Structure 1
Amino acid sequence: MVKCLADATAKWDKRLNEAYRETLKEGPREQREQLRKAQRLWLQYRDANCDYYGLSEGSIARVLAASCLFDMTKARAKELEAAPGN
């Protein structure tokens, strides 16, 4: 199950990165800089948030962490795909 989630997350991560690059091509410099800052902070938040679930007790911890990474990555990819310039 963790492997399936990791594979699905990798696909969404690719979409996220493509949307991020496309979004950076548009808009004023200040807006692009803010997106870079927001994306760095979002990555830190996602990783810390999912690490929290990974520290759960029992064998379910790995599934919870992988599910968290999948859900958050998918949501961010969709958000960036809907951003102006995409």
Structure 2
Amino acid sequence: MATVIERVRTIVVDKLGVEEGDVEETSSFVDDLNADSLDLVELIMAFEEEFSTDDSQVEISDDDAANIRTVGDAVTYLVDHGVSES
């Protein structure tokens, strides 16, 4: 199974239509990957859906979402909130 960073990268490529090679841990969703506010909402929803399981639902609050600015921020948030590296 893919790691958290690989799964996040796949979602970002799909939702933002960027090249996989452009998606680094330090990539800013807005500054580097040209995401707008709607894109950010869609990314958060996609992260919640991808990383939720029957046993554990991932819910990212609006306040938390505002602090997820880079790919690395997303990975760190997910791991800190119980998503395992599998």
The normalised TM-score by structure 2 is 0.29
The normalised TM-score by structure 1 is 0.29
Structure ranking higher on relative contact order (CA contacts 8 Å, 6+ apart): 1
Structure with the larger helix share: 1
